[in-house]
Amino acid sequence: MINPLLEHNTLPPFNSIEPEHIVPAIETILKALRVGIEELLETRPYNYESVVKARENLEDKLHHAWSPVSHLNSVMNSVELRDAHTACLAMITDYYTEVGQNRPLFEAYQAIAESAQYDSLSQAGRKVIDNALRDFRLSGIDLPESEQARFSELSREISGLNSAFNNNVLDATQVWQKLITEKSGLPGVPHNALVSMHQNAVDKELQGYLLTLDAPCYLAIMTHCDDRTLRQELYTAFGTRASNLGPNAGEFDNSDVIHALLSARLEQARLLGFKNYAELSVARKMARSAEEVLGFLDNLAEKSRAFARNDFETLVAFAEKSGGPEDLKPWDVPYYAEKLKKAAFDISEEELRPYFPAPTVLKGMFEVVRRLFDIEVAPCDGMSVWHEDVLTYEIRKDGVAIARFYFDLYARASKRGGAWMDDCRVRRVDDSGSLQLPVAYLTCNFSGPLGDDPALLSHNEVVTLFHEFGHGLHHMLTRIDAAAVSGINGVAWDAVELPSQFMENFCWQAESLLFISGHYETGEPLPEDMLDKLLKAKNYNAAMMMVRQLEFGLFDFRLHVEFDPDDQNQVQRLLNQVRQDVAVILPPAEYAFQHGFSHIFGGGYAAGYYSYKWAEVLSADAFAKFLEDGIFNRQTGEKFLATILEKGGSEDAMDLFIAFRGREPEVEALLRQDGMVA
């Protein structure tokens, strides 16, 4: 049997990959990798090419095979694929743990760092060596053999628990459904959402409107449905996913997974000599200490809490005046917030949708980056895809292709919720001397096209699209050829959101909105009066959104600082305490948000969720420079490209920011952007 995962392909052959290919391919590649590592260690004297470059060439083969498998597990999940993914994840974790504890390999890197060659290497080359030596130490290279074995065991356990957490969230999200037989049962729900819910029912051979917990449906109910009881029902179902509460209580419960994950992380951190996992997490980040992170979050909370309370009091007063409940509940907040936005600014997300058809937004977004960075984005035919909805593009500079990417925009069954960017191929020079172009996966979960009409995006979804494309640009516009620090690789986690949040700003500028928007029937850009209203509403409830993100960030970070494995109730108690400190409205006791918090329990944001706000300070301060110079100022765009996007992880994030801005970032830039300072 020919195994497509073992063949050399410029791009993944998605139309050929089957679940039965996965385990044999990964086993074969890992076996060759182990042999290859042993062989490169036999070569003397050690130098960058014989060790670092040789290892990069070997591990790129693993990335070529694993990247599409990992991606398919997120976007086309099935029982067979999940089983193969889980089996291989354990094997890959074992491999990287072995490499991290391979003393001869560590000593080879150490020898290069101490050699005359080190000083002659490029900045990127030196950073690869420095990062690798740091990572060896954070992988337990200095531990006694028995503790190394325990560290390896914990790494495998953590990897499996991350996967189990995500599987539980996906299954809990997919299993909940509610059929509404009559349109009258969904009062206030916009036509576009009703058509989508009806299509959900048709797909299941049902009559009526099928409600799910996928983001487009959930948000439509929470924001627009006049039926308060139905809003509460969806709020409870969504907020108790994968927990011991709610409509599917205990069925996909992540309670034990969370406790086991936190315990394993803490034990690993202590093996390495850290007091807690937060300290270990910060060792790879831009922030200098756990205390600095907590001070940063507390400072933002202190400066935004009064504004958030004022926002909420205004909302409560409006709801009472509108005949709503005196005691506003969490399932009322999005509903009355949308009503207040309409009353205060005479604008709503649903009124904006017709002006943001997905094809127009994409074309406008590509025009933004053309003006900023002098690049062209064009459709790219011939790229194998995993679903008929997937769009494929390439980026060209001076007519030459420099990167490619996939856009998977729409929600569907067996696709993980949320939006993300991941790398498919990393820019590097391969072992034949050829340049490998960077390739990115860009994934969202919007409502798809209906009938002959294109998908119509809310403005919030437009912001999400720009956010993910910003991540993609960071990966694809790099000029660094060393894989370990090319694109998003090697970038401090609390700086990685800078380009994504930077790109969001162009969704709020009159000059760019003129070509990002266009009515799906007439092509007319957003009318001047609607544009004016949208911009006036920019900071609407910004403080409430700020404290919501600070709640997540403080909960995550404090949990990883304070976690005690012997305290079975600590997670919920700490979350309640953080909410008392910063939140403006508290959820009911039967709410289990943490059981679906995939960022920190199933992704890479453990003790790192603060990164969103940390990087938002960077992005707000960076964009302030564009506001000073003109949002499409070519010199400023080129400087951002040269100092931030092209450098990848080849230099420290703070040094790169200073190279662009001329100074360190200032928190006031974010507060000013969100309307919380004069």
Last residue of a domain, one of 565, 581, 609: 609
The pLDDT score that the predictor gives to residue 317 is 97
Shared-domain flag, residues 484 and 572: no
Average pLDDT over residues 202-207: 95
For the question of residue 666 being annotated catalytic, the response is no
Neighbours of 18 (CB within 10 A): 13
pLDDT at 431: 82
- 285 and 312 share one domain: yes
Mean pLDDT over residues 519-537, rounded? Answer: 95
In this prediction, residues 256-270 reach a mean pLDDT of 98
H helical segments located in 139-271: 145-175, 191-203, 215-224, 228-239, 255-271
Ramachandran area for residue 648 (φ above 0: left; ψ -120 to 50: alpha; else beta): left
Segment 191-198 mean pLDDT: 95
- The answer to the question of residue 601 being in a domain is yes
Cα 334 to Cα 220: distance, rounded to the nearest angstrom? 10
For 494, counting Cβ atoms within 10 Å of its Cβ (0-12 exposed, 13-18 middle, 19+ buried), the class is buried
Specify the DSSP class assigned to residue 299: H
Mean per-residue pLDDT for 601-613? 97
Q: For the residues 98-121, what does the mean pLDDT come to? A: 97
> Does 513 have pLDDT greater than 80?
yes
CB 490 within 8 A of CB 649: yes
Domain tally, the chain = 4
Could you tell me if 395 and 260 lie in one domain? Answer: no
Is there a single domain that holds both residue 547 and residue 463?
no
Say yes or no to pLDDT of 402 above 70: yes
Which CATH number fits the domain that encloses residue 560?
A: 1.10.1370.10
For the segment 386-407, the average pLDDT, to the nearest whole number, is 98
| Residue 1 pLDDT grade (very low, low, confident, very high; cuts 50, 70, 90) | confident
Claim to verify: residue 433 and residue 371 sit in the same structural domain: yes
Is 218 among the domain residues? Answer: yes
Phi/psi class of residue 443: alpha, beta or left (left: φ > 0; alpha: ψ in -120 to 50)? beta
Quick count: other Cβ atoms within 10 Å of Cβ 94? 16
Q: What is the pLDDT at residue 441?
A: 98
Query: In this structure, is residue 570 part of a structural domain?
Result: yes
What CATH number is attached to the domain comprising 368? 1.10.1370.40
Encode pLDDT of 549-578 as tens digits.
999 999 999 999 999 999 989 999 999 999
Q: What is the mean pLDDT of residues 224-231?
A: 98
Same domain, 195 and 78: no
CA distance 442 to 468: 6
DSSP H helix total and E strand total for the chain = 27, 9
> Is 341 part of a structural domain of the chain?
yes
**How much is the average pLDDT of 287-308?**
97
Is pLDDT of 409 > 90? yes
Tell me whether residue 658 is in a domain. Answer: no
Closest CA to 437 of 450, 454, 424: 424
Show the domain range for 216: 176-239
- Assess whether 302 and 228 both reside in one domain: no
Once rounded to an integer, what is the mean pLDDT over residues 607-614? 97
Pick the catalytic residue from 468, 504, 551, 616.
468
Question: Is 109 inside any structural domain?
Answer: yes
357 and 446 inside one domain:
yes
pLDDT, residue 677, reads 83
**Burial environment of residue 451 by CB neighbours within 10 A (0 to 12, 13 to 18, 19 or more):** exposed
Same domain flag for 412 and 446:
yes
Shared-domain flag, residues 370 and 229: no
Rounded CA-CA distance 462/466 in Å is 6
Q: Quote the pLDDT of residue 678.
A: 60
Single residue among 185, 208, 239 that ends a domain in this structure: 239
Is the domain of 195 the same as that of 309?
no
**Of the candidates 499, 533, 521, the residue with the CA atom closest to the CA atom of residue 649:** 499
Task: Give the CA distances from residue 493 to residues 261, 490, 552, 606, in Å, rounded to whole numbers and listed in that order.
Answer: 20, 8, 17, 11
Shared domain for 372 and 322, answered yes or no, is no
Residue 281 contacts residue 265 (beta carbons within 8 Å): no
Q: How high is the pLDDT of residue 10? A: 96
